[in-house]
Structure 1
Amino acid sequence: MYLDDALLYNQGYMISINDLDSPLFYLFDYDSRSFKINMSFQHFHQFHEIHILLSGRASHLIEGDYYTLQPYDIVLLRPSMLHKTEYPSGGDCRRLIINFRVPDDSPALHEMLQSCLQPFGAEVPIYRFTGETRAQAFSHLNNIFTLGKQPMTPLTQQFIHCHFLQFLATVAQHAGESSYEPQELSDSITQKVYAVTSYIHRHYASELSLEYLAEKFFISPYYLSHQFRRVTGFSLINYIQITRVRNAQQLLLYTDMKIADITTSCGFTSFSQFNRVFNKFCHTSPSQFRVNGVVTPITAIPFEKDPSPGSTKV
């Protein structure tokens, strides 16, 4: 165990309370990650997640928006929010990930928790604190770290729960002091590609095409197609389809919407198209996915080309 400047840290250390299906659960995961295991596409959870970078540099994609991170930045992710962390090539980066679900089954508790969780709903849900504010927030996490070394009795769990709520309350109380500001990328074409991905995530239910997006972002269709694949690792058509599929997965898992309604609300022109695209990436039908409820990793479809300008919309 050692103090990583502001946070206690042990490589591979975990603290867990209950399992993922419980109304109340916590998982504190202290580990390191590198470029070698970067995810290919954004994913989502049915619980809240907090990511705190402890060393090195990283970036975070949230609903297609690109954010750079430095040590001790706190990333807050709501349930069902598409996201992924990207680590640069080089050495490992230490990080703490906290997954949690807290029930709010009484009116008084609901109001309190909504206040604590309010920072998760910010337009840019990333917080950068310094000095006393950071020390105050992280002191609660360090108390949890120490408690996790003790026998996990109901009383120990209660102490962990209380310290975590204090951590959330501290972040919420001082959210306005955050100095985090999204940075523009030095590479202008990469910046433009991420502007396109952000637009796709906000308009995936609309008709989208290579020609339309190229015109909207003042770039030639050929150059956009080439640079989009270079930056994201996906063809533009794959990216649009996967974004629609990921959003459809959320609706299949967490709502009772009819599949026909999910088809149109996620931008597919027909059920047959929805079924075909869903099968292509998930290797199962939408109806069977709803039954199984297992979200598998999505990767690019090799050698699939973007449609040429003027062709049928995606």
Structure 2
Amino acid sequence: MQLGNLAQQPRPDMILNRHLRENPYFMKYEVMDTHFQMDFHMHIGYEIYFFHQGEGSFLVEDRVYGLAGNDMILVNPLAVHKSFLSSAQGCTRTVINFLPELVDAKHRDRLLQPFDLKSMVKGQYLCIGADAQQRIFYLLKRMYEAYSGQSGSDEMAFCIYLNELLLEIYRLSEADSERPLLQTDTPMPNSIVDNMMQYLAERYANKISLDHLADHFFLNKHYICHLFKKKTGYTITQFLLHIRIRHAKKYLTYSDLSISEIAGKVGFNSFSNFAHDFKKVVGIPPTIYRKNGLQLTDKQG
């Protein structure tokens, strides 16, 4: 599929944003994928991503977490993220998106605290142990039953179960933060490609060459290009470009920085290069994207 064609289709984050503004929660339950690919994206609202089984990686902003089953990733509003699912046998996931208005007002700050990267020793990641799995699985199932219903009481039930789930997550994060952190506890990337993705995500605004990357990881540059493309479906250059463009979209929509300032902030050495690559990926110039984004946010308050 050509990049130009991609730009003409509704982006998944736009579709989700529209849905959440009409109905402040969304859920996919135990979806099994064999060749699922989601582009880098961001959206309003919080996300709970539960990875039931399979193998893969999950990138949130500048962190990459290895996934191996019973993993939970917590995603803040407007955080750039993407999953990379690599299990040939298929992967199963549950995804919950919600706006903060569904969270109990009295305890909202504490219930949403685990989503804050600074509040957890391990970042926005939890590995759900055997003791907590039964309770988590029960709540996810009941939430989906309520989500699939049509009555007003089903919406109320979903909100109640969501708050119970957030309480469970809060307790788990508190227990993890009180326990001494061991090297084996840290959710490290599970392959050299994961390490490369994290390296690029942390340094996307810097000038990075294939030679530099190969030297850093002590590997042949042709080998790392082959390895990276095989696992992610992207070349290293494409991966870096998409991260830069996704961050540029955030600045264009939610900051007052000039477009030239944004170009430099996300790693482009000139406005013309930025404008050319942005239009190639998105389908419209950054000036039009900013104008459309401002109109959208004005209409949606």
Gaps of 5+ in 2: 1-15, 177-183, 295-301
Tell whether 2:187 aligns with 1:182.
yes
| 1:15-54 matches, cutoff 5 A | 19-21=19-21, 25-39=24-38, 41-54=39-52
Q: Structure 1 length normalisation: TM-score?
A: 0.72
Tell whether 2:109 aligns with 1:114.
yes
Alpha-carbon distance in structure 1 between the residues aligned to 2:205 and 2:185: 31
Q: Is the 8 A contact 2:85 2:91 kept in 1?
A: yes
Task: Give CA-to-partner distance per residue, 1:48-80, whole Å, 9 cap, x none.
Answer: 1112234x413232146241231x332222223
| 1:153-192 matches, cutoff 5 A | 153=152, 155-177=153-175, 181-182=186-187, 185=190, 191-192=191-192
Alpha-carbon distance in structure 1 between the residues aligned to 2:283 and 2:99: 30
Taking only the aligned residue pairs, the percentage that are identical comes to 24
Identify, as 1 or 2, the structure richer in helix.
2
Q: Which has the higher contact order (CA 8 A, sep 6+)?
A: 2
Task: Give CA-to-partner distance per residue, 1:257-297, whole Å, 9 cap, x none.
Answer: 32122111111111111101111211211122223349xxx
Tell whether 2:291 aligns with 1:291.
yes
What is the one-letter code of the residue matched to 1:115?
A: R
Q: Structure 2 length normalisation: TM-score?
A: 0.74
Aligned residues: 265
The structure with more radius of gyration: 1
Find the residue that maps to 1:237 and give its secondary structure.
helix
Task: Give CA-to-partner distance per residue, 1:203-261, whole Å, 9 cap, x none.
Answer: 11122222222223333444434433334333322222221111111212233332122
Alpha-carbon distance in structure 2 between the residues aligned to 1:164 and 1:241: 36
Q: Is the 8 A contact 1:60 1:83 kept in 2?
A: no
- Structure 1 residues 141 and 238 mapped into 2: Cα distance closer, same or farther (>3 Å)? closer
Q: Is the 8 A contact 2:78 2:250 kept in 1?
A: yes
Q: Which range moved further: 264-273 or 111-120?
A: 111-120
Find the residue that maps to 1:99 and give its secondary structure.
strand
Alpha-carbon distance in structure 2 between the residues aligned to 1:221 and 1:148: 48
Find the residue that maps to 2:20 and give its secondary structure.
coil
Find the residue that maps to 1:81 and give its secondary structure.
coil
Which residue pairs with 2:11 in the alignment?
none
Alpha-carbon distance in structure 1 between the residues aligned to 2:102 and 2:93: 28
Alpha-carbon distance in structure 1 between the residues aligned to 2:82 and 2:170: 23
Q: Is the 8 A contact 2:46 2:75 kept in 1?
A: yes
- Structure 1 residues 258 and 233 mapped into 2: Cα distance closer, same or farther (>3 Å)? same
What is the one-letter code of the residue matched to 1:182?
A: P
Alpha-carbon distance, 1:29 to partner: 1.7
Gaps of 5+ in 1: 1-15, 186-190, 295-314
Alpha-carbon distance in structure 1 between the residues aligned to 2:40 and 2:148: 33
Alpha-carbon distance, 1:91 to partner: 4.9
